[in-house]
Structure 1
Amino acid sequence: MSNSQLALRSVNVTRYVTPLREGGSMPAIAEADDGFLYVLKFRGAGQGLKALIAEIIGGEIARKLGFKVPEIVFATLDEAFGRTEPDEEIQDLLRASEGLNLALHYLSGAITFDAVVTTVDARTASQIVWLDCLLMNMDRTARNTNMLIWHKELWLIDHGASLYFHHSWQNWEEQALRPFVLIKDHVMLSRAEELEAVDREFRTLLSPELIRSIVALIPEEWLKDDAFETTQAHRKAYEQFLITRTAHSEIFVKEAQNARKVLI
């Protein structure tokens, strides 16, 4: 499949299985009409559609850079789900999320990554740090790694807290050129010894064409924002932010290297 033909599958949610209450946005395990279980992320949750957009962009960029990421699908939630749920909090969430949501394939039996138990090589650590600097992902700390071990392989999950500037879009052009200072808390930073080599590799892989094809996955109905006159302008802003940030990746790479020197 070429970059211009990227697409996400669509499923219909058929059964709400159980909430995952450890997540701030209270995602849930749900079954879809294809027979698979998914981690369902709701448009009606606290961060709303912004978190779903960040999930698409972050997850699909990670996949294209070679990381293992659970399949991301669009998941339609019928209005009937909110009527039968006995828990009022969940019922409100379901009713606020009728329509198009996002879901990730559920990795049954996966265990949370623990840096004390599992050693990651310097190359992989550097790749993950580079990715999270690009995405401004604040959610890959020792307290909350958002990584899983499944079938003895490392999987990246939950990029919904990335691109946090888009909750206001204030000075977003300047944000694209800023270092990511929160990288100092990254769980992989101490092992990220090969950032310069990874930077050369990933800048080549993450072309403007690829970025545009990933941003094109965002549904039109999710791009209605008072900060932009049109949905086209909103989509273009995501494209330009990522293209600019990738082109000037030496800014966030230097910040990561400096933070690593302090750490070790």
Structure 2
Amino acid sequence: MNKIDIRTANVVQYISPLREGGSMPAIIKADDDFLYVLKFRGAGQGKRALIAELIGGELARAIGLNVPELIFLNLDDSFAKTEPDEEIQDLLKFSVGLNLGLHFLSSAITYDPLVNKVDALTASKIVLLDSLISNIDRTAKNTNLLQWRNETWVIDNGASFYFHHNWDTWENHLTRTFPLIKDHVLLKQATDFDGAKKSIQNALTTNKIHEIIHLIPLDWLEDDTEKMSPEERRMAYVNYLEGKLAMIDSLIKEAKDAR
């Protein structure tokens, strides 16, 4: 299995905000001449949303789902100084440093459950992955899926791992299932959980989980308000994922019952 290599680039042009997103990401150009959707560390959920985006995206890629390239993006303070919109100015100011970008898929359209179809295995993989990472944000109201070149692409995993918003109680989540899977946009099409389980178990080995979790920049894990050290929190993500994989049959049963 190929080693994950997350590139780093610098933001050179702020093009436009995506105001339909709650955290107001933006389309930017980097010094590699590509366009990216930039997720800001200074947005509402802060660095934890970037961590969830990074882990969720690379887990999805590891199990064979289509995910835009993820890249670390450095943002300097020059953009905040020249931005006339006060709301965007504040966002840029609080996001100086290392942020996360997704390769911009030009001409992609939002997945529409009434129009677009997803094959049973892909739908089952996405549903089961979202159960594993407790992703509360892949519903008919907000699919966080794109159709690009006749394929379904997984984006926006930042609402996953919601346990990390309260580290004092994170261990309470280790043995919980994910009842909110009942609202998943692909649940009706997810009819191949056996195939999805096999793909996920084959791909998400202990080594692969550790590799993905160790992609998290130390800077994103540092927080003077937390009792747990950055490395303790890094291992908590590993333990969480290994715990969820150990109960994958319970998650499948829950999804089947909901369907």
In which range does the TM-score fall when normalised by the shorter chain? over 0.9
Is the Cα contact below 8 Å between 1:83 and 1:91 reproduced in 2? yes
CA displacement at 1:234 relative to structure 2: 1.2
Number of matched pairs: 258
Supply the RMSD in Å over aligned alpha carbons. 1.2
Residue among 91, 94, 98 paired with 1:93:
91
Higher mean displacement: 35-44 or 193-202: 193-202
Residue among 58, 67, 70 paired with 1:69:
67
Is the Cα contact below 8 Å between 2:63 and 2:199 reproduced in 1? no
Q: 1:228 to 1:206 in 2, by over 3 A?
A: farther
Q: Which residue of 1 aligns with 2:55?
A: 57
Q: 1:232 to 1:221 in 2, by over 3 A?
A: same
1:228-260: CA deviations, max 9, x gaps?
442111111111111111122112111111111
Q: Which residue of 2 aligns with 1:45?
A: 43
Which runs of structure 2 are paired with 1:1-264 in the superposition (5 Å)? 2-3=2-3, 6-225=4-223, 226-260=225-259
CA displacement at 1:195 relative to structure 2: 1.3
Higher mean displacement: 54-63 or 194-203: 194-203
Distance (Å, rounded) in 2 between the aligned partners of 1:28 and 1:73: 14
Distance (Å, rounded) in 1 between the aligned partners of 2:26 and 2:196: 35
Give the counterpart letter for 1:70 in structure 2.
P
Unaligned ranges ≥5, structure 1: none
SS in 1 for 2:167: coil
* TM value normalised by structure 1: 0.94
Distance (Å, rounded) in 2 between the aligned partners of 1:241 and 1:227: 18
Distance (Å, rounded) in 2 between the aligned partners of 1:228 and 1:217: 22
SS in 2 for 1:171: helix
Give the counterpart letter for 1:242 in structure 2.
L
CA displacement at 1:174 relative to structure 2: 3.1
Give the counterpart letter for 1:248 in structure 2.
M
Distance (Å, rounded) in 2 between the aligned partners of 1:201 and 1:107: 26
* Percent of matched pairs sharing the same residue: 54
Is the Cα contact below 8 Å between 1:134 and 1:245 reproduced in 2? yes
Unaligned ranges ≥5, structure 2: none
Is the Cα contact below 8 Å between 1:178 and 1:251 reproduced in 2? no
Is the Cα contact below 8 Å between 2:65 and 2:122 reproduced in 1? no
Distance (Å, rounded) in 1 between the aligned partners of 2:165 and 2:137: 16
SS in 2 for 1:11: strand
1:201-227: CA deviations, max 9, x gaps?
312221111000000000011112444
SS in 2 for 1:39: strand
1:159-180: CA deviations, max 9, x gaps?
0001111111243233122111
* TM value normalised by structure 2: 0.96
Is the Cα contact below 8 Å between 1:126 and 1:192 reproduced in 2? yes
